[in-house]
Amino acid sequence: MKPEAETLFKEGIRALHERQFKRAIEALEAAHAADPDDVDILLNLGGAYILAGMHKKALPLLERAAELAPDNANAWINLAAARLGPLDISTPEQQEGAIEAWLRALDANPQAPNVHYMLGLVHHHRGDYAKAEHYFNEALRVNPEDTDAQTMLERTRTAMRGED
């Protein structure tokens, strides 16, 4: 990271931790202007945009991060979140884009946290309960303490039996 970007980056990270998204975005945008191809800046600015509900603004940054660091699971995870947006209003095309990115994240790190769970959620939302069940089981394999995955696995199995 270029020195002129580092101080701004650290300020942005502090603001993110304090959930002060406007301040974080301002600092990270300035860091990005100083060092436009730094993956850490791209990931954190993209993440700040997502947290602020600005998914479309995050897309080009996270696409660039994934391009620069194709083996970085976090780049793909964040890109998936940007592509999907809020699940309940996402389109099938947005869901497909997110699924593609999550699968790339798993290629980079098969144990990537929450990826299997998110794949399960999207497939459950789409009514593809067999795939949802598979991914919730995988989420529990990666993290046996994942109570959200356990709950969704039970809901998915109920839906598969037609009791939903």
Question: Mean of the pLDDT values across residues 143-163?
Answer: 94
Looking at domain 1-87, its CATH class is: mainly alpha
Q: What is the 3-state secondary structure (H, E, C) of the chain?
A: CCHHHHHHHHHHHHHHHCCCHHHHHHHHHHHHHHCCCCHHHHHHHHHHHHHCCCHHHHHHHHHHHHHHCCCCHHHHHHHHHHHHCCHHHCCHHHHHHHHHHHHHHHHHCCCCCCHHHHHHHHHHHCCCHHHHHHHHHHHHHHCCCCHHHHHHHHHHHHHHCCCC
Mean pLDDT estimate for the chain: 96
The model's pTM is: 0.91
Tens digits of per-residue pLDDT, 127-143? Answer: 999 999 999 999 999 99
pLDDT greater than 80 at residue 54 = yes
Burial of 80 (0-12, 13-18, 19+ CB in 10 A): buried
Tens digits of per-residue pLDDT, 20-30? Answer: 999 999 999 99
Q: What is the structure's pLDDT at 164? A: 57
For the chain, the domains span 1-87
Tens digits of per-residue pLDDT, 68-110? Answer: 999 999 999 999 999 999 999 999 999 999 999 999 999 999 9
